[in-house]
Amino acid sequence: MARTQPRKKAPGGSKKSSKARLGVDPLASADVDFEVVRALRTAEDWAGLIALLGDADVDGSESPELARALCRAFIHVDAPDESLVAAVSTAVTALDGEDVDGLGARAKLALAASDFEAASKHALAALNACHFKDSAILQLLQEAQKSLHSGAADVRVLA
């Protein structure tokens, strides 16, 4: 049976997080507006997200949405600098082990460290989590496997 009237909010109900209701700003450590982050992510403005979040102290345990946004932008960066790698390394640790953006960022971090087996493992897990619908993560998996296989070929040639 179809609902004809909108649902009423419970008394005192709010979309604010529990920290916001307690008077603690959930974004205080990053000084970032969620709406701006959402708009940049929707527009796939990865450079804008990096500019906004790359220098911020994004603690994924306090704000998983910001950590996910930073990880998603990191996946799309061609040549990340050391400070961005450090920021993503911190942000990714607090994300769930099945989070697509977190797994993708772990894969990219492993690629940057030339750990191609770990990069393949994380990228494959991310693809499974998103039901193989993320072309950026598929590209990471292909890059990791190509590097893994070319490394194996180099070892065979040297042996």
Range of the domain at 42: 28-153
Residues 6+ apart with CB under 8 A from 49: 37, 40, 41, 69, 70, 72, 73
Q: What digits encode the pLDDT tens for the residues 20-68?
A: 333 434 444 446 788 999 999 999 999 999 988 877 777 666 788 889 9
Between these two residues, 41 and 158, which has the higher pLDDT value? 41
Q: What pLDDT does 157 receive? A: 43
Total count of domains within the chain? 1
How far, in Å, are 9, 16, 111 from residue 13 at the CA level?
A: 6, 9, 45
Site of tokens 């494959």: 124
Distance CA 106, CA 89 (A): 8
Distance CA 150, CA 114 (A): 12
Does any domain span residue 18? no
Residues 6+ apart with CB under 8 A from 59: 29, 30, 67, 90, 91, 94
Give the whole-number percent of the chain exceeding pLDDT 90: 41
Q: Please, what is the average pLDDT of the chain? A: 77
Does any domain span residue 17? no
Q: Note whether 124 and 141 are within 8 A (CB).
A: yes
Does any domain span residue 108? yes
User: Does the predicted model carry a pTM greater than 0.75?
Assistant: no
Assign residue 131 the CATH number of its domain: 1.25.40
